[in-house]
Each structure stands twice: as C-alpha cells, then as structure tokens.
Amino acid sequence: MQQKVEFEQRVHKALSDSQLRQNFRSTMDGLMAKRSQAFPDKERLEKLRLQGAQIRANALLKLPELLEQLEERCTANGIRVHWAETVEQANQAVLKIMQDHNATNLIKGKSMVSEEMELNHFLEQHGIEVLESDLGEFIVQLAGEPPSHIVAPAIHKSRQDIARLFQEKFPDIPYSEDVETLTRSARDILRRKFYEASIGLSGVNFAVAETGTICLVENEGNGRMCTTIPDVHIAVTGIEKVVEKLSDIPPLMELLPRSATGQHITTYFNMITSPRKEGEKDGPREVHLVLLDNGRSSIYEDPELMESLRCIRCGACMNHCPVYARIGGHAYGTTIPGPIGSVIEPQKLGLDRFGVLPTASTLCGACGEACPVRIPLPKLLNRLRFEQVRDDPPDNTMGKGSQRSIRESLVWNLWSWANTHPALYRLGCLFLTRLRGLVPKQLGVWTRVRKAPAIAPKTLHELAREMGIEDE
Amino acid sequence: MKPDQQYPDKPLSVYFFGTCLIDLIYPQAGLAGMQLIQREGVKVIFPQDQTCCGQPAWNSGYREQARSVALAQLDCFPQDIPIVVPSASCAGMMRYQYPELFKDTPQLSRVKGFSNRVFELTEFLVHVLKVKLKDLGPPTRVALHASCSAQREMAVSEEHSNLLQQLDNVEILEQERKRECCGFGGTFAVKHAEISNAMVEDKAKSIADTGAEKLVSGDCGCLMNISGNLQHTGQGPEGQHIATFLWERTNATES
Amino acid sequence: MSNSRENILQRLRRGRPELPAATGEIQIDSLAWDLEQRINTFCDRMASVKAEVHMVTEGDWPTKLRELAADRQLSNLLYAPKGPLAAEIESAWTENDSCTKLITREESVDEWKQELFYQVDGAVTSVRSGIAEVGTLILWPTREEPRTFSLVPPVHFAVLKAENLHHTFADAMEVEQWRQGMPTNVVLISGPSKSADIEQTLAYGVHGPTELVVLLVR
C-alpha cells in the first residue's frame, strides 16, 4: 500500500501545479501533432512499424549470439567491451576506466542507461565531477532533479524557471528569459568543459553486431563532442539495444526521430566503429562499451513481456499518453516514465515496489497505437496487473503476487459469484432498481467532480421480458 | 472496421448482449439497440441469463474470476448466430480479449468460435444490416465521443459517424482532442480517481465548448463518466447512447 | 567481469523464449526520382532545418565559398591541407585578396585544440554523399579531413556533388557497400546544431555549428 500512497502524493503534487500541467499539455500536444505530420502516409507508416517490430523481434531472438558477435567485432575494431550484470558492476566498470586514467571529471551526453545506473551520484561519491552536456539534462542537473521525459528531460520547466535557475547558478551571466540567449549561455559554459574534458560518456541508440558499430542520435552536437573531443569515450547500453545488420538501421531511423519529435532525421546521426586509428588527427584514443543487463535477461525469459525489450526509446508512448500528459514524468518515480516505463520498471524494480504503475492507465491504447515497434503496451500493462495479484506465482521474482489482498480477492470472488448465477444477478439488480432512491448521492471521489449515476427504474432484463423479446 | 474484418450476410436472427452498465443505468439504450435491429426484419433474442462480459476482473488482473464469468456468458449464446453488443468496450472484450483470457486453456477453440460471432452495434447496423436511416427530428447539433475501444480495439468510430451522418438534420461538431480518452478506464476511475477526475474535466469541457445540444457516445462507461461531470458542473449538453439517439430520431411510431 | 559475461549469456540462452522468427519480407516502395527531383527534395529538406544550400558548378564553387565566408565576415576559414578540396580552395584564395584568411593545420588536433575551439570562425569539408529524401550530408572523415572540422567551428561549409545524392539512407548504404568496412566514424548531418529542450522552442547553435552552408556542385 505504501507504494500507492507515495504515488498518489506525487500525482497530487503534479496535478495541483497548473504551470506544470500546462507545460506538459502543450508539449505533448505539439509532439503528437509533429509526429502525425511526419507520417503523412498512414499505410506506409503501418508497414514501417511492422518492419521495425520485425527487426527488433528478430534481434532479440538471436540476442546471445548477436551480443557475442558485437563483442567480437568491437574488439577487433579496438573497442573494449565490458559486461555488467548489475548497476553496481556497470558503475564499477566506468569508475575503473576513470581511475586508470587518473580522471577526475566526466562529461556526459544523454544516456537513459546512465540514469538507470544513477551513475552521476555514484561517481560523485568517488570524488569525480560529472557534467551533463545535453541542454535539457544540463538544466535538470543544475536543478538537482531527474529528467521528466526521456527525449525532452527538462520539459516540466518553463523558460522563467530556467532563467531563474541560471541566475542562481551563474550569477555573472545577465538574467534572460530568451531561449536563444539561455541556449547561448549554456553553449559557452559547456564549451569550456568540452575543451578540458579527458573522458566523455554517451548512451547508445543502436549497436550493430555485423560491424561492431555504435550509433547515436542527437540534435545538439554534444553527443559528437563527448565522443570525439575527450581522449576516452565510454558508451553505456542495455544489452537489448543490439541489432543484427547495418541494413537494419535505416528502417529504424525512419521510425525513431519521426516518432520522437516529428523530425525526418535528427541533426546528427553518429556511427562509431573504432577508436582513433594510426594517422588520424582526432577522436578518442580509447573507446569502451559497457553492456548492462540489470534485469533485462529476466524480462527476456517471458515470451510476452520480452516484447517490451523491443523499445527504441522514442518516447512516443508517453507523448500520446493522457495520463502522462497530466501527471508528467516525475510522478512515476522511475527512470523511464509513461507507458513503457510502467511496463519495464516494475519488472526491473519489482511489482512490490512499483506495481501501482501498471494500474495507472485507462488502457486507452494510444500508446500501443503510437509505438513504432508495435509493443503491445496495453496488453503488457494488463499482464502486469495479473502478475501482481496472482495467487499462484511461479516464482517470487519481481514481486509477483505481492499486491494480492484478501479484501480485494474477496470482492472479485463475490463479483464472479454474482455474475455466474443469473438468478442471483437478476435479483440483485431488481433490488437495486427498486431501492434506487436509497443509493447515496455521494460516491466518494467519483462525485467530487461528477453527479452520481442514476440507477434505472427497470433493468434491461425486465424491459426485454416486457417487450416480449425471446429469451433463447 | 478493421481492414481484415469479414461480415456475414444479414441473418434471420441475432443475440443481443445488453452489458451490465446498460442493464442497470441505461436500459433504454439496450432497448433502442434491439429495436433498431428488429426494424430491419431481424429477430432479436435476449438471453435472460446474461450478466457481465467479465472485463472489470480481466483488467484488474483477476483472470480466474474473469474466466468464470466469461464462460457463463458463453453458455447463454449457444446458437451459431451473431451476438450484437451496444458497447465497443464490451464487444472488444468478447471479441479480442476472450481469446487472450483463454490462451493455453482447453476452452480456447470454443471461445474463438464465440468471439468470431461478436459484433459491436454500429458496425452491425452499417456492415451487416446496411441500414438506411431517415431523420424525423428537428435540426440539432451533437458532439460524438467515440470510446477508446471504438476507435482502436474495435475500429468502429467511422461507423458511429456514418450513422449520424445519415441523419439529415444532425450536424456533428468536433471537440478539441477528440481522440483522447475520457478518463473512465473502469476500475481506473476508482483506483486513480484524482487522475481520472482531471481527465474527465478536460474532456467534458472540450465537449461543452463545442456548443452541442447533445453528447452522443456508443459506450455507457464514457457516457456515465462525461455526463456525470457535465451534470455536476451544470455546463454542456445532455449525454445519450448512440442507439437511443438514432432510435428517437428515426422512429415514426411513438413507443 | 568475465563471469558477468558468461552469466548473462547463459541466462539469455537458457531463458530464450521459444518463438518463431518473424518472417515475411515487408515491401516498402523505394523511390525512383531523377536527379532533379533528388536535388529539389534535398534542398527543401535542408531549408526546413535551416541549412543554407547554394547551387554551384565545378568551376565556381571555390569563388562562391570565398564570397560566402566574406559575407559572414569570418576572419578565417579552416580547411584540410591534404583533403580533396585543398587545391581548388587554395587557388581561389591566392588569386584575390580576401578578408577571410585561409588557415590549415597538419598536426593532430590535440596540438592546436585551443585554436580550434576559440579562434577558428569557420571550416570547410568535403562530403562523401547525401540523402535526398531526408536532406542529409554523409561525412566519412579521413586521416586527411578530421571529424572535428565539421563540429567545433561555428560555421560549417560542406561541398557536395549533386551526383552523389542517394534517394534514401538505405540506398546510400547499399550502393556504397558500407558493410564491407566501416570507418572510425561516419556522421550524418542535417542542418546546424539545435535544441528544443527549453519549452520546445528551437534554438540553433547549441554545441555544434550555428550555421550549415551546403555548396551543391552540379
């Protein structure tokens, strides 16, 4: 119950903040409209989605072999591969690389896996200064907050919030609410940091097993900076991000930016296949790839739930989610918010801790409809609702069965009993219709914003009989 | 309609599944649905033993209870004739979710046979009965709310509009964010009342803003939710199930 | 660490769901544009992301480059001394005086990073090929032409031969046989650096170039 109380508190806070709600509403409206415009031909879109789903599904079926191939090709190309079963191991791997180079600071491009690892916090505890360089991530880092959207991390903040934040953190810079000016200030601050940085870190959008290539999608150029200027580049990725062939990339790239922001392509698509080679005049001398499992291999075991591993992190499901649009990313309390977060995170962190998330959906289906790789999100949310209340959990991983309560089971048993005994059902309905005057006018939270529904004087069963409609 | 959906020829008789919400709260909608079918010369059978499709338990994770209730429904509709449902949400449950619910069970093939016979009312009127409606009512302006199941799972929102467009004196007004969920979501409205409230307030406002005289929907869950808020605020139109609306505007004889 | 590798792979092998591979080739119509259509689409797309495209010829592009640099009052322009454009650029500059000084460095970038970051106003690079459908430049940096040239200076001039415009990304990969061997880095560039992280309002020149100027050679 604790998780539900905490979730409700976060929801209440978000819903009470009219500025926040307006920020999310207008952004999500904009992103939905842009996506729609980016796919003018709906028939083609459906074919592309099928193709995207197929590429990702087939990569997952060959996952262990593709990971081995990726490792082999990367190693041959000079990229060093590290395997991490847990967040702790992944953090240690990054720390070790930092220590091997006596590095005291790290400049980061956008990486949701590093958020999952809580890498910044970990490195700071070891005396390493970490700086986010994606503008949105830079802003939330200054504010001491996690990102609220996987593509637009600072979208919960208004330009006034950001102007005040900059003034507080950089008093030398004149106060401005102008977006260009704020952006320019961030450029100047970060340029110095890129210049000085000895180690850069990035996420990975796709890892190509065939050639051992790391692909990065971005608009700002900070990703290129992090992977080009410092002497060492560390890429961190979940093990599910691998694809089989280079030719798998163009269809996925046709889907990813269009689904995310409505762009036909991002400003930069950066494909990294090796560290700086002999005679080359720039680029990192070392490239490391950290492959993180952290619960993914458990999700993988379930033929239905594994579909969530197809995710390419475009954010379209959250952009289209009417719940997300109202409560925003922080209310979820997990690294990845929105529908895909409500599917993945409880599986990683346990239904006993985050089982409430799959219930916080109307199952309207907008997410599944928008997903570029056709993850059946409503079906998976429904499945996790089952997993958390089932009374015969096959194992106790991820908090299966943990949300089962005697009271709720009893309610459903009674409900089932009434609905499987037609005479009883009709009798119950008869009582309700005859006693309709006694039904309370206040029905808890329902009637806070709604008039209570009025029970009809006669049921349809009665009316049908009266009309002489045959029973069989 | 879904691209791969096949429709049978007009049958001699059909079953009608009323749904539990209609049974208790909106029985007139069920009646109107049956009358619309009967008027086309098709016999309607309403099995008195029907109760609920089982969706509330299915969406709450109580699959065993949902299965018991679903099996009880299967027993009520034995003949190989169409089962017409005046709700896309319940129709979707019976057509698409039942096979999921009974996956890996011995009943699956029987369930599939049942599911294939399930049709939502407006799709049945349009594609099977091919109704031609004659509007007898005065000029009016309505807002149509197609439920999420009508739009996505059953893909019958076009059929809703098709029927309304057949009525010469009815103008359909379009609300802002027409495709967005109203926030009902069954037990969601109770479990996550605060989010649900925020959603329904927005939905009701966008409908009231159209200036429509009536809100029409093919699903009573949405109707109960949105109308509940419209009545609470005292702003905006009265809500009506699409079957009731169609019947009232096209019925020559006062019943 | 080696244990982690084995454990992960073992878990994946043991847990692999028994599912059939998704099959059935999905046919998505490819494009069949002539050069004119490819150029037009490329230019439209580039314009939509605030990149400037100038139509030039084999003979006049270096002069145009000099003019564009002068228009912007760039005090200097960086080029790769042994790159494919070097000779033509040098010839355009030696003939006339220009307010924009031509500069070049042969050393590795580490040696003159300070200058690259803070003193270079613009850089010109060659482009391997382009993608018409989405309006993209494909840069394939080499020993002669480093990666940072197209990244660090505020203005990036890119010289692309129109005949190298592919229809799509897939075409580019296929025709150029990328799978035969990928270089250290390939970068696709579509416009100047930008961000919409503040209120979804576009701002240009975040960390990469503020301006992208394409010289499309016919």
Query: In chain B, which residues have their Cβ closer than 8 Å to the Cβ of A359?
Result: 188, 191-192
Q: Which two structure tokens, joined as six digits, stand for C190?
A: 């579509």
Q: 């939270």: which residue's tokens?
A: A445
Co-location of B36 and B83 in the same domain: yes
CA distance B83 to B104: 24
Name the pTM for this structure: 0.96
| Identity of residue B197 | N
Contacts of C9 in chain A (CB under 8 A): 64, 67-68
CATH classification of C32-217 is 1.10.260.40, yes or no? no
Judgement on whether residues B159 and B216 belong to the same structural domain of the protein = yes
- Two structure tokens written together for B11: 């049958």
- Across the interface, do C174 and A247 touch by the CB < 8 Å criterion? yes
Chain B: give the shortest CA distance to residue A29, in Å: 9
What is residue C97's predicted lDDT score, i.e. its pLDDT? 65
pLDDT, averaged across chain A: 95
Interface of A with C in 342-361 (CB under 8 A): none
Mean pLDDT in residue range A54-73: 97
DSSP per-residue string spanning B152-178: IIS--HHHHHHHHHT-TTEEEEPPTTT
Nearest residue of A to residue C178 by CA position?
Answer: A246
Chain B residues closer than 8 Å to A415 by CB: 56-57, 65, 69
Residue ranges making up the domain that contains B156: 140-250
**What's the total number of domains in chain B?**
2
Whether A287 contacts chain B with CB within 8 A: no
Written in H, E and C, the secondary structure of C171-209 is HHHHHCCHHHCCCCEEEEECCCCEECCCCCCCEECCCCC
- Quick check: do A and C touch, 3+ CB pairs under 8 A? yes
User: CB-CB: which of A323, A369, A388 is closest to B195?
Assistant: A323
Question: According to the model, what pLDDT value does residue B255 have?
Answer: 46
Domain boundaries, given as residue ranges, for chain A: 39-294, 406-466
Q: Is residue B197 within 8 Å of A8, Cβ to Cβ?
A: no
Cα–Cα nearest to C213, from C43, C84, C40, C30: C43
Give the closest of A386, A445, A471 to B61, CB-based: A386
A412 in reach of chain B (CB within 8 A): yes
| Interface contact flag, A464 B61, Cβ < 8 Å | no
Partner chains of B (3+ C-beta pairs under 8 Å): A
Torsion sign, CA atoms A195, A197, A198, A203: negative
C105-136 tens-digit pLDDT: 999 999 999 999 999 999 999 999 999 999 99
In 3D, which of C159, C161, C214 has the Cα closest to residue C192?
A: C214
Nearest to C169 among A195, A250, A277 (CB): A250
Percentage of chain A lying above the pLDDT 70 cut: 100
Residues B162 and B234 in one domain: yes
- Report CA torsion sign: A216, A219, A224, A229: negative
**pLDDT (tens place) for every residue of chain B, 255 residues total:** 888 899 999 999 999 999 999 999 999 999 999 999 999 999 999 999 999 999 999 999 999 999 999 999 999 999 999 999 999 999 999 999 999 999 999 999 999 999 999 999 999 999 999 999 999 999 999 999 999 999 999 999 999 999 999 999 999 999 999 999 999 999 999 999 999 999 999 999 999 999 999 999 999 999 999 999 999 999 889 999 999 999 999 998 754
| Residue B135 belongs to a domain | no
Q: Do chains A and B touch (3 or more CB pairs under 8 A)?
A: yes
Do B19 and B123 fall within a single domain? yes
Q: Do residue A89 and residue C4 have CB atoms under 8 angstroms apart?
A: yes
Q: What is the pLDDT of residues A95-142, one digit of tens each?
A: 999 999 999 999 999 999 999 999 999 999 999 999 999 999 999 999
Q: Domain end: B128, B151, B169, which one?
A: B128
What value does the mean pLDDT take over residues A27-32? 96
Structural contact between residues B154 and B123, judged by C-beta atoms closer than 8 angstroms? yes
Rg (CA), chain B: 18
Residue C180 has pLDDT above 60, yes or no: yes
Strand order in the sheet with B170-173: B170-173, B140-145, B214-217, B238-241
Q: What is the ipTM of this complex?
A: 0.96
Cβ neighbours, 10 Å, residue A120: 20
Query: In CATH, which superfamily holds the domain spanning A39-294?
Result: NagB/RpiA/CoA transferase-like (3.40.50.10420)
Structure tokens at C9: 């792979």
How far away is chain A from the Cα of C7, in angstroms, using its nearest Cα?
Answer: 8
The answer on pLDDT for A384 being more than 90 is yes
Q: How confident is the model at residue A441 (pLDDT cuts 50, 70, 90)?
A: confident
- Residues of chain B neighbouring A447 (CB-CB closer than 8 A): 228, 232
* Residue A277: strand, helix, or coil: coil
Residue B138, class by beta-carbon neighbours within 10 Å (0-12 exposed, 13-18 middle, 19+ buried)? exposed
For residue C24, pLDDT over 80 is answered with: no
CA distance linking residue B231 with residue B223, whole number of Å: 11
**Is B107 within the bounds of a domain?**
yes
* Cross-chain CB nearest to A327 (options B46, B50, B195): B195
**CATH classification of the domain holding B237:** 3.40.50
Spatial distance between the Cα atoms of A294 and C11, rounded to a whole number of angstroms: 12
Residues of A in contact with B69 (CB under 8 A): 415-416, 419-420
Q: Contact C134/A303, CB-based, under 8 Å? A: no
| Cα B236 to Cα B214: distance, rounded to the nearest angstrom | 8
